[in-house]
Amino acid sequence: VFAHRFMAIATHMGDVLQRTAISTNIRDRLDFSCALFDLNAGLVANAPHIPVHLGAMAKSVAAVAHAHPQPLPGDAFVTNDPAGGGSHLPDITVVTPVHDDAGALRFWVASRGHHAEIGGATPGSMPPFSTSIEQEGVVLRAELLTRAGPLEHETIMARLQHGPFPSRAPAENIADLEAQLAANRRGVALLRSLCERYGVQVVEAYMGHIQDDACAAVTSAIAALPDGSSTATEHLDDGTALA
């Protein structure tokens, strides 16, 4: 029951993000992901979005938690740093803490969306022959997006327009970040509602039960694999072998 409740919250977050974003990547291609995390940035539930996002998003949440160990209610942070859980720079993650009624930090929610533009030497922010991260675009390293209130427009706009290869469409970035922020706030509200109904301790306990069950399932699957070594080879379009 709780697994479905947590999954439903992540799904609702995704619905909000899809309907409020202006980027074709997010709205039409559905290149986004939303998820819930425990106090220690451990993944609890994710909607069936983009797997590569979900495999790395916990690292982004952990990087934000490390950089901002005492976030305030209403805060939110933004990151696309590959050294802190990011993938390529167009995938921007918004991370929001979830506090209880007493103001204590309890959980995290996050959403990651593929922005159409984040700067770089070529449009699309993925130049194939870049030799430095700056050539791929603007790097956001666990930076403050909101401080207990509205989005920090001037600060974020300045960051998007900074560096040798700034974003070509910062206004669109801001719009999509606001959509991600709205999705996260929906997740915060639904998690707080769940805590009001069952109590924070019960919600935390069932997050742990779900993680324990997932651990047992993966351990069992690995144990079923035969001993020994295995190899496989696939080829790229130009014939290059991946072995």
Reported as a single tens digit per residue, the pLDDT across 81-103 is 999 999 899 999 999 999 999 99
pLDDT for 9 beyond 90? yes
Helix (H, G, I), strand (E, B) or coil at 67: helix
How far is residue 114's CA from residue 130's CA, in Å, rounded to a whole number? 19
Structural element, H or E, at residue 109: strand 105-114
Reported as a single tens digit per residue, the pLDDT across 18-45 is 999 998 999 999 999 999 999 999 999 9
In this structure, the number of other CB atoms found within 10 A of the CB of residue 148 comes to: 10
Reported as a single tens digit per residue, the pLDDT across 204-216 is 999 999 999 999 9
In this structure, the number of other CB atoms found within 10 A of the CB of residue 228 comes to: 5
What are the phi and psi torsion angles at 200 (to 5°)? Answer: -60, -40
Reported as a single tens digit per residue, the pLDDT across 66-78 is 999 999 999 999 9
CB 146 within 8 A of CB 159: no
Tokens of 79: 């990151």
What are the phi and psi torsion angles at 178 (to 5°)? Answer: -65, -35
How far is residue 39's CA from residue 104's CA, in Å, rounded to a whole number? 10
pLDDT for 54 beyond 80? no
Q: Which amino acid is at 142?
A: A
Structural element, H or E, at residue 210: helix 200-223
Identify the pLDDT of residue 7. 96
